[in-house]
Amino acid sequence: MKRHDQHGRGRNGPHLRRIRLLGAAAAAALFLTAGLATPMAPGAPQARAAEAHTDGKDGKVSQDGKDSGGKKVLTVAVAQSVDSLSPFLAVRLLSTSINRLMYEYLTDYDPKDAHVIPGLATKWESSPDKLTWTYTIRGDSKWSDGQQVTAEDAAWTFDKMMTDQGAATANGSFVGNFAEVTAPSPTKLVIRLKKPQATMTALDVPIVPKHIWEKVGDFSKFNNDKTFPIVGNGPFVLTDYKPDSYVRLKANKDFWRGAPKFDELLFRYYKDQDAAVAALRKGEVSFVAGSPSLTPAQAASLKGDKNIHVNDAPGRRFYALATNPGAQAKNGKKFGDGDSSLLDERVRHALFMAVDRKAIVDKVFQGHAVEGQGYIPPRFSSYFWKPSAGQELAYDPAKAAHLLDQAGYQKNGDGKRVGKDGKPLNYRVLCHATDPNDKAVGKYLQEWWGKLGIGITLDCLDNVTDPWLAGKYDLAFDGWSVNPDPDFVLSIHTCAARPATPKDTGATDNFICDKTYDELYAQQLAEYDPAKRADIVKRMESRLYDLGYMNVMAYPNAVEAYRTDQIKSITTMPSEAGNIYGQDGYWSWWSAVPADSGDSSGSSASTGVVIGIAAGVVVLIGLGVLFAMRRRATAEDRE
């Protein structure tokens, strides 16, 4: 779930998994440690608590990209903090991206064009009725504590998500249709379905070591962030973490695709994006992604530096305004305090018809974006949808005013729109304090909606998580990094994604629940024919558009920069005009070659991928075709 880049799930892995730029601070009220000792691998050396493991560096390296011990360190400046290091809870883009580095998934996505390739599974096949899927688990993957990775680890991971609501928090939509998961042998994983499921080659779920995680008690509270190193089998091993400061990982020398070229990977948190850019100029960091992208002014200022390369490419996320539809839990209990006027579709349409998308692209993003239309960005052409001429909620302030009049929200003597209670309409708009785009667009909203007679209050917070989950907002800046297969980012608007009770945490984006949308979601999930499934997905986007709860304003470019005197080469995804940060995989950081390395610039990006493809051919029995399903669709995990 990129999940949220939210501003997430872009999920990047979910790695969506979902993409809210959910703010700078972690959701402390939601993600508390469980009060139990963090499990350790049997026989592993005594791990050290994060607070004691800074080596006096507090996450800093010298200007040449090396630490005091001479290790080659790739330092990435990020504007988002970690919500959780547990793959069962993480939804932010940064967190799910780190999960991708720590744990392997059954399948991966080729960095060239995002088609499905072997990951932890070397091959897979379905039964003729498409209800049983068998995966062959590779025999050359080991956990970082030395134990062999087996099919039992994968079976246990999925089963835990099926039987424990806390473990299903982030990725439960992937297993909701599973009937049974077994591991007949160390290299054979069998998943039996209740009905056909089109995402069986796009199960973006981190596989965890059973012998470690079976010791965890309450999965809804265990954050996996107190004892290090954390046992994993990805290209990097997480060795240290300090909340709202840094995350440190070391290269896994035994990774089956081959070890990363950098000795360490360090994510450093910057609340101030300008400070991150300044750190890049000084050589204190190797890479800057922004929040999640650099502003046009920042990018322009960096292009003149001979030691800095600016990457500007079509992104995989969307930038939107989400409307509170009236927060409600699955048990029927309503909560939150969203303005009741927004329950009227005419009001929602009026607000969105008073948003000039072209002005946002031209004046805020300064051309480094494309005007928003459907829910899935144009980068993933198979699922990209745009409204017909008669359906489009085009910029038309006069028509917007007329809709408000029709809905009964007239202007008073002061020119203010008055609600049913006789009070002037004034909407609270949740805004991410770390994202300059939110603030810039917010000022335009104040102007545009002000002309309609509607006031707005920008609520720019470091932590938008708490009011968002509590339903205490009227509108909110929203965005997700979408994966090649769109299922996850579509699932967050289903009724089932809502929390069980107001006190629980669901996988929903903003509490949308619509019967027609749910029926279409079930249809696309069960449709194996790519063209037919794409058509259903587009109908879902059309329905979401007509409901008016999500106003996609733009598809921002991925604008990022790195120091060429520290990084010699790095893989973008897709390879032609693609992003580096927040990829559908670990390709960028795994492939990165240090500037002082003797390796050729193209070698690291492809060798391991070729090996992975050669390791097994994907056979789909009964389908007769190569089923290269794609993960989330365009822009990830809430950012």
Residue 70: pLDDT band by 50, 70, 90 thresholds? confident
Residue 69: pLDDT band by 50, 70, 90 thresholds? low
Residue 44: pLDDT above 70? no
> What pTM was computed for the model?
0.80
pLDDT digits (tens, 9 = 90+) for 376-427: 999 999 999 999 999 999 999 999 999 999 999 999 999 999 998 899 999 9
Averaged pLDDT of the chain: 86
Residue 542's nearest CA partner among 371, 394, 383 is 383
Residue 50: pLDDT band by 50, 70, 90 thresholds? very low
pLDDT digits (tens, 9 = 90+) for 204-262: 999 999 999 999 999 999 999 999 999 999 999 999 999 999 999 999 999 999 999 99
Q: What average pLDDT does this structure show over 423-433?
A: 95
Q: Return the C-alpha torsion angle 137, 143, 146, 151, nearest 10.
A: -30
Residue 332: pLDDT above 70? yes
Query: Three-state SS for 426?
Result: strand
Residue 310: pLDDT above 80? yes
Q: What is the pLDDT of residue 14?
A: 36
Residue 207's nearest CA partner among 291, 103, 298 is 103
Q: What is the pLDDT of residue 612?
A: 37
Q: Which residues contact 109 (CB under 8 A, 6 or more apart)?
A: 115, 116, 117, 484, 573, 584, 585, 630, 631
Bridging pattern class, strands 550-563 and 308-314: antiparallel
pLDDT digits (tens, 9 = 90+) for 164-213: 999 999 999 999 999 999 999 999 999 999 999 999 999 999 999 999 99
Torsion sign (Cα): 66, 223, 88, 374: negative
Structure-block tokens of residue 466 = 């708490």
Interior/surface letters 431-464, b for 16+ CB within 10 angstroms, e for the rest: bbbbbbbbeebbeebbebbeebbbebebbbbebb
Give the span between the Cα atoms of 43 and 490, in whole angstroms: 43
Interior/surface letters 275-292, b for 16+ CB within 10 angstroms, e for the rest: ebbbbbbebbbbbbbbbb
Query: Three-state SS for 171?
Result: coil
Q: What is the pLDDT of residue 139?
A: 97
Q: What is the pLDDT of residue 61?
A: 59
Phi-psi region of 114 (alpha: psi -120 to 50; beta: other; left: phi over 0): left
Q: What is the pLDDT of residue 565?
A: 97
Burial (CB count <10 Å: 0-12, 13-18, 19+), residue 206 = buried
Give the span between the Cα atoms of 565 and 594, in whole angstroms: 8
Give the span between the Cα atoms of 64 and 61, in whole angstroms: 8
Residue 18: pLDDT above 50? no
pLDDT digits (tens, 9 = 90+) for 143-168: 999 999 999 999 999 999 999 999 99
Phi-psi region of 57 (alpha: psi -120 to 50; beta: other; left: phi over 0): alpha
Structure-block tokens of residue 64 = 């040449």
Give the span between the Cα atoms of 67 and 58, in whole angstroms: 11
- Whether the bond between 594 and the residue before it is cis, its omega within 30 degrees of 0, is no
Residue 101's nearest CA partner among 629, 502, 590 is 590
DSSP, residue by residue, 299-313: HHHHTT-TTEEEEEE
Could you tell me what percent of the chain has a pLDDT over 90?
A: 77
User: Are 80 and 434 in contact, with CB atoms under 8 Å apart?
Assistant: yes
Give the span between the Cα atoms of 434 and 439, in whole angstroms: 9
Give the span between the Cα atoms of 90 and 32, in whole angstroms: 13
The most distant pair of C-alpha atoms in the chain lies apart, rounded to whole Å, by 77
Q: What is the pLDDT of residue 19?
A: 34
Q: Which helix (H) or strand (E) holds 126?
A: strand 121-126
pLDDT digits (tens, 9 = 90+) for 72-115: 999 999 988 999 999 999 988 899 999 999 999 999 999 999 99
Look-up of token digits 């004034």: 426
CA angle in degrees (0–180, nearest 5) for 450-455-460: 115
DSSP, residue by residue, 348-399: HHHHHHT--HHHIIIIISTTSEEE--SSS-TTSTTT-----TTT---S-HHH
Structure-block tokens of residue 204 = 């973006």
pLDDT digits (tens, 9 = 90+) for 599-617: 644 433 333 343 333 333 3
Torsion sign (Cα): 164, 37, 8, 500: positive
Q: What is the pLDDT of residue 607?
A: 34
Give the span between the Cα atoms of 142 and 120, in whole angstroms: 10
Q: What is the pLDDT of residue 623?
A: 35
